[in-house]
């Protein structure tokens, strides 16, 4: 049984009210009372506080009926901004969104170093710049969330990043010392799964998201929460061994899944077959369109190893939804069909398997909404960012 004092109950009610206002894209006080079950007096007091804090705005809804038009409460999306950062080997993606998760500015910076101090200085410089752009809003930057392609502990300490060879780095504390802003550090696969849950699969309580770029990571959403494990290290599924005594991996093992089913491994194989070390996704698309037999052989082998790992993942977690985050699979229309054809075990059960629409933006999108959820202190965040709403959002700066 959950108990708490008046302040705790007020905080829970506040979070419920905010989540329902966001979920309904604006709602009247009367309807808010109906769907939350809170009495009108509680709604009135909470809404008054939120209006004073500039987190809500009021507007009138157009309707054809006679009588007074209802006043609609909406989240003040420009009251503050979230900054998401995807820190990967070779590049950093920055994404700034408003409080409803609408992108305001995205920027990709190429990295020429893996040195921790140099990257720390680069991140600090860019965060300061974004902070200055948002200083006219009521809350400015409400949080910076950094997605790391490696193992992050429950205390947000970077335990190990194989691609950068970082060990035991406290990026959160180091950034907060340099810049007066709240910083969160999280595994990139967890943030990718969070983006899928918040933006696309609001009703899925058992969602798995598998990132497949420089390595393979698994983000798990259970009942709306990220499943992290005891120390925070859960989800390092890329280091599941699928080929005994196979290719050596930077983690120290041999035959890890990501050595065969990550996009980075595909590009290594592609370089050997074609003698092209600078090939990109446009080249792959051209080879696929031309029905190049070597390219189709590479894709089939890639799908084979994806399927081997997926079979293990499905048997471990019995997911409702599995989302594969891979630019390469998005180029190949038959990818999901061919993967499903290899998942033939009678004891493997899942409801839906698909390729993510978010691509490389998934991590920073998840980072931004993770920051928003923590700032608003709500238990469940459901957003719907459509092309029409994006077009109507307008310029911010």
CATH number at residue 238: 3.30.420.40
In this structure, the answer to whether residues 234 and 351 fall within a common structural domain is yes
- Of the chain, the percentage scoring pLDDT greater than 90 comes to 75
pLDDT of residue 128: 97
- Say which residue, 199 or 388, is predicted with more confidence: 199
Give the pLDDT band of residue 171 (cuts 50, 70, 90): very high
In this structure, the answer to whether residues 330 and 208 fall within a common structural domain is yes
- Say which residue, 314 or 396, is predicted with more confidence: 314
Residue 269 lies inside a defined structural domain of this protein: yes
Global pTM value: 0.90
Region 195-202: mean pLDDT is: 92
In this structure, the answer to whether residues 145 and 211 fall within a common structural domain is no
Residue 36 lies inside a defined structural domain of this protein: yes
3-state SS, residue 259: helix
Of 208, 220, 193, 226, give the one whose Cα is nearest residue 352.
Answer: 208
Write phi, then psi, for 104 (nearest 5 degrees). -105, -45
Region 53-70: mean pLDDT is: 76
In this structure, the answer to whether residues 252 and 295 fall within a common structural domain is yes
Residue 22 lies inside a defined structural domain of this protein: yes
Last residue of a domain, one of 75, 94, 126: 75
Asked whether the predicted pLDDT for residue 223 surpasses 90, the reply is no
Q: What is the mean pLDDT of the chain?
A: 90
Last residue of a domain, one of 42, 75, 108: 75
71 contacts 59 by C-beta, under 8 angstroms = yes
How remote is the C-alpha of 207 from its chain's centroid? 13
In this structure, the answer to whether residues 28 and 42 fall within a common structural domain is yes
Write phi, then psi, for 318 (nearest 5 degrees). 45, 65
Region 32-44: mean pLDDT is: 93
Residue 1 lies inside a defined structural domain of this protein: no
In this structure, the answer to whether residues 205 and 331 fall within a common structural domain is yes
In which domain, by residue range, is 44 found? 6-75
3-state SS, residue 168: strand
3-state SS, residue 54: coil
Asked whether the predicted pLDDT for residue 389 surpasses 60, the reply is no
Write out pLDDT tens, residues 115-167.
Answer: 999 999 999 999 999 999 999 999 999 999 999 998 999 999 999 998 899 99
- Of the chain, the percentage scoring pLDDT greater than 70 comes to 94
In this structure, the answer to whether residues 354 and 367 fall within a common structural domain is no
- Say which residue, 275 or 108, is predicted with more confidence: 108
Last residue of a domain, one of 24, 42, 75: 75
Residue 310 lies inside a defined structural domain of this protein: yes
In this structure, the answer to whether residues 151 and 27 fall within a common structural domain is no
93 contacts 147 by C-beta, under 8 angstroms = no
Task: Give the Cβ contact number of residue 75 at 10 Å.
Answer: 20
In this structure, the answer to whether residues 87 and 16 fall within a common structural domain is no
Could you give the number of structural domains in the chain? 3
Residue 150 lies inside a defined structural domain of this protein: yes
pLDDT of residue 163: 84
In this structure, the answer to whether residues 59 and 150 fall within a common structural domain is no
pLDDT of residue 5: 79
171 contacts 112 by C-beta, under 8 angstroms = no
Residue 278 lies inside a defined structural domain of this protein: yes
Asked whether the predicted pLDDT for residue 384 surpasses 80, the reply is no
Asked whether the predicted pLDDT for residue 345 surpasses 90, the reply is no
Write out pLDDT tens, residues 84-95.
Answer: 999 998 899 999
Residue 205 lies inside a defined structural domain of this protein: yes
Give the pLDDT band of residue 3 (cuts 50, 70, 90): low
In this structure, the answer to whether residues 179 and 134 fall within a common structural domain is yes
In angstroms, rounded to a whole number, what is the distance separating the alpha carbons of residues 336 and 325? 12
Region 330-358: mean pLDDT is: 91
Half-sphere exposure of 200 (CA within 13 A, CB side): 21
CATH code for the domain in which residue 56 is found = 1.10.10.10
In this structure, the answer to whether residues 232 and 92 fall within a common structural domain is no
Q: Which helix (H) or strand (E) holds 265?
A: helix 263-274
Asked whether the predicted pLDDT for residue 113 surpasses 90, the reply is yes
pLDDT of residue 64: 54
């Amino acid at each position: 049984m959950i108990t708490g004092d008046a302040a705790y109950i007020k905080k829970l009610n506040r979070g419920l009210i905010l989540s329902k206002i966001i979920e309904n894209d604006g709602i009247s006080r009367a309807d808010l009372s109906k769907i939350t079950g809170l009495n009108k007096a509680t709604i009135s007091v909470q809404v008054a506080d939120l209006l004073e804090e500039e987190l809500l705005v009021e507007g009138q809804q157009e309707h054809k009926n006679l009588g007074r038009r209802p006043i609609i409460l909406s989240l003040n999306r420009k009251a503050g901004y979230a900054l998401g950062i995807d820190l990967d080997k070779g590049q950093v993606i920055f994404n700034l969104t408003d409080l409803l998760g609408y992108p305001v500015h995205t920027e990709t910076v190429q990295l020429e170093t893996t040195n921790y101090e140099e990257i720390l200085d680069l991140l600090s410089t860019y965060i300061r710049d974004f902070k200055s752009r948002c200083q006219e809003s009521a809350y400015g930057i409400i949080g910076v969330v950094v997605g790391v392609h490696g193992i992050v502990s429950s205390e947000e300490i970077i335990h190990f990043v194989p691609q950068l060879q970082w060990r035991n780095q406290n990026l959160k504390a180091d950034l907060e010392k340099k810049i007066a802003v709240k910083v969160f550090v999280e595994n990139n696969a967890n943030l990718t799964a969070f983006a899928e849950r918040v933006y696309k699969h609001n009703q899925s309580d058992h969602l798995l998201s598998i990132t497949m770029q420089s390595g393979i990571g698994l983000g798990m959403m259970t009942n709306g929460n990220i499943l992290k494990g005891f120390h925070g290290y859960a989800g390092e599924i890329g280091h599941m061994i699928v080929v005994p005594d196979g290719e050596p991996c930077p983690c120290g093992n041999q035959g890890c899944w990501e050595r065969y089913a990550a996009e980075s491994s595909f590009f290594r194989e592609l370089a050997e077959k074609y003698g092209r070390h600078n090939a990109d996704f446009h080249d792959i698309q051209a080879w696929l369109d031309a029905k190049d037999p070597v390219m189709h052989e590479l894709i089939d082998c890639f799908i084979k190893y994806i399927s081997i790992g997926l079979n293990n993942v499905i048997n471990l977690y019995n997911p409702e939804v599995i989302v594969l985050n891979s630019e390469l699979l998005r180029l190949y229309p038959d990818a999901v069909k061919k993967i499903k054809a290899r998942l033939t075990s009678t004891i493997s059960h899942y409801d839906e398997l698909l390729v993510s629409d978010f691509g490389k933006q998934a991590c920073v999108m998840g980072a931004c909404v993770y920051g928003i959820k923590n700032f608003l202190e709500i238990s469940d965040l459901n957003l719907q960012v459509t092309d029409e709403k994006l077009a109507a959002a307008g310029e911010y700066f």
